[in-house]
Amino acid sequence: MKANDAKRLKDLEKENTQLKRIVAHQALDIDMLKFVAEARVYPNRRLRAVVALEEQFGVFERRACFVVGQSRSTQRLPTPTSSENEEKLRAFLREFAKRHPRWG
């Protein structure tokens, strides 16, 4: 075996290792997407889905957020709590929309 053949073999082995790593990541992403698809993730459930992926598959927050389609900054923010006045206003608006469907 000549020197350039050995170098080419080494380069091919390095490329093969990189491709195997890419395939493993893709397979993990597919498994995570299947898990998320079974759970029917809606926008308000993405926070819990990211946590579930982290626990189930042992991936980092960055990867779980990418798979679910959740922004990492949104993931870190605390869930806002609504005040009593806001709840009353929402209830009024829902009732108003039921009484006047054409108005909205």
Q: Where are the domains of the chain?
A: 3-78
Low-confidence residues of the chain: pLDDT under 70: 38-43, 104
Write down the pLDDT at residue 41.
64
Q: Quick one: pLDDT at residue 39?
A: 63
pLDDT value for 88: 94
Note the pLDDT of residue 95: 93
Radius of gyration of the chain (CA): 24
Q: What is the 3-state secondary structure (H, E, C) of the chain?
A: CCHHHHHHHHHHHHHHHHHHHHHHHHHHHHHHHHHHHHHCCCHHHHHHHHHHHHHHHCCCHHHHHHHHCCCHHHHHCCCCCCCHHHHHHHHHHHHHHHHCCCCC
